[in-house]
Copies of this chain bind each other. A is one copy, B any other.
Amino acid sequence: MRRVCARVRALKILHPLFALTPVRRFTFVAPFLSKRDLQFQLYEVLDTASLPHRPRFAEHSREVYDDVLALAYNVADKYFANHAREADLNEPHVVDGKVQLVPAVQTAVNAFRDAGFFSAHHDEKLGGLQLPWVVLQAVQANFQAANVGSSGYAFLTIGNANLQREFASEAQQAKYMMPLLEGRWFGTMALSEPHAGSGLADITTSATLREDGSYNISGSKMWISGGEHELSENIVHLVLARIKGAPAGVKGISLFIVPRYRVNEDGSTGESNNVVLAGLNHKMGYRGTTNTLLNFGEGGETVGELLGEAGRGLAYMFRMMNEARIGVGMGAVMLGYAGYLASLEYARERKQGRHASNKDPQSGMVAIIDHADVKRLLLRQKSFVEGGLALGLYASALVDEIQTGPEAEKPDNELLLDLLTPIVKSWPSKYSQEALSDAIQVMGGAGYTRDYPVEMYYRDNRLNPIHEGTEGIQGNDLLGRKLGQAGGRGLQVLIAKMQVDLQTSGGLDGVAEIRAALQTAMQECGAAFGKILKRAAELGPDLFLANANSALEALGHTVIGWMWLRQAAAAAKALPNAKGDDSDFYRGKLQAAKFFAVYELPKIKFHTDLLASADPTTHDMQSAWF
């Protein structure tokens, strides 16, 4: 433990010495994250404090985690939150052929690097702290909430390195991955092409074998986040391409490591690798993250190295997908959460109107948080973002279980994570957007202006239901693949876990509504899934999947209901001995659980009825009839 503790302590001392005095662009400043809730989720709902009992985390302690999280919060607050609006208002643009970002982005990613977060979850021998995945996600949550655009560069780099760590050769890891872990080089994922976004099977970028065993890469890649910038010495693209002569479809797709600058023997960067910036995409939000169209092999050869085996490119990508999709879901959660906190602060300060029961115009106005409909909008946000956070961290803890937990439980946990992944990705993407709309609504005209951050979060988060697999793809994944996978074992594992929480929460005060609503939801889902799966062959794939979105909605709400049962149970246990703010905090959890039980879970029935009916209305619609 000493080694890790000492390094964490060194970081704590180091950071206050950074010279920059951050200036916020908003005159209105609300916290972007609830430290109290993060603690509750990690230590009272999840059992993160017990992870140091495992060999990989033996050097850790709760204090280490808390120190790392405090550091993350401080770096996020000082170096990321400070320029979120500035980067939104000054989106990346090209000057003299180079992508220009606001200068604060460089300072921010340097601070992230100096805090060691690029490698924090990696092995000590690679310079990491061996942080558990769940703690890493909690760390990242700070940055996602503070500034989703600037943190994008870091997270893409981390994801790229994770993939290399899993599948690249040792030589490739030394050459391309280590500079990512050190934060000197940054990374991207280059999958989509102008004509192939969701349908990656149809990509046409080609790879031609060279004499030295490397490949010439040629083609165009679209929607590449972090595809070009001057933040790092080099950019390592992971590129999907077809080796000349490979079969059509997914089996002909391979993965290549393609650096922006070629890499010399000594690891230094050399000449241009002819990856040419063909254009920047101008987005509604998420503007801080450059998004590019890149041409490979334009004006000269672009040389890449095959990563792993030929023809397994998409398989490698999909092996990393669970973790990438947890990342998108958590990003969505944190945008929603930041919006919730901003609207909450506003609602407590802003006075307007009186209670309906008060007809005296001479009486003072009340804070708008005292109006029931504003409380509804805030409770709705709270139930969505805290439910989403619980799920994102639960799924992250499951990654730790799979990697470091009991071997015997690994297959079940893998199936459970597979089943949950489409929900972890899509549910917060959708419901944080609803929460952010509610945040704007709470703030009225103010929320619609750029004087407050919520309109920006609303624009930022609208990306999340699109990238890393659209909502439609997540629905098809859930119904068409995950629910039936391994004979439905994933759903059985999920139900068994829910049953445990239902049993252990039996006698607790204040959890009756959420327990009852969850049980109803489980029954409705179980019956509907059973019906539709049984009819799959008879319906054929197209009609079977026509209402897949309702499977996603129904199981998504059920899973969030479960997350609220777990939170409510933890709160109910703690409440009798809690005082002051803590007591309020737990009462809020219980009320939000009740809200989700009464105002959200009953909505499932519509979806389970629709799914079970295999209604053909959308399937039967014809293009010409629109």
A369-B623, A373-B548, A467-B445 as given contacts; A459 in contact with B284, CB under 8 Å: yes
For A450, what are the chain B residues with a Cβ–Cβ distance below 8 Å? Answer: 282-284
A222–B356 CA distance with the chains assembled, in angstroms: 25
Residues of A436-473 at the interface with B, using a CB-CB cut-off of 8 Å, are 437, 440-441, 444-445, 447-451, 455, 458-459, 462-463, 465-467, 470-472
A contacts with B: majority SS: helix
- A618 adjacent to chain B (CB < 8 Å): yes
Contacts of A462 in B (CB 8 A): 437, 440, 448, 455, 458
Please tell me if the beta carbons of A587 and B361 are within 8 angstroms of each other in the complex.
no
A285 to B599, CA, bound (A): 30
A41 → B minimal CB distance (Å): 16
In the complex, the count of this chain's copies comes to 2
Q: A282-B449, A542-B356 are in contact. Are A618 and B376 (CB under 8 A)?
A: yes
| A48, B424: Cα distance in complex, Å | 51
A159 to B25, CA, bound (A): 37
From A60-68, A164-172, A191-199, give the one contacting chain B. A191-199
Residues 341-354 of chain A, each 1 if its beta carbon lies under 8 Å from chain B, else 0: 00010001001111
Cβ distance A180 to chain B, nearest Cβ, rounded Å: 25
Known: A433-B437, A623-B367. A542 touches B355 (CB 8 A): yes
Within 8 A of B (CB), among A16-36: none
Check B361–A249 contact: CB distance below 8 A.
Answer: yes
- Footprint of B on A, CB under 8 Å? 192, 195-199, 201-202, 222-223, 247-250, 281-285, 344, 348, 351-357, 361-362, 365, 367, 369-379, 382, 433, 437, 440-441, 444-445, 447-451, 455, 458-459, 462-463, 465-467, 470-472, 475-476, 480, 540-549, 584-585, 587-588, 591, 594-595, 598-599, 602-603, 605-606, 609-610, 615, 617-626
25 A-B pairs (CB sep. < 8 Å): A192-B445, A198-B353, A198-B444, A199-B352, A199-B354, A247-B361, A248-B361, A284-B450, A284-B459, A356-B541, A369-B626, A372-B546, A372-B618, A373-B475, A373-B476, A377-B472, A440-B466, A441-B470, A444-B466, A455-B462, A458-B462, A459-B459, A588-B625, A598-B610, A606-B606
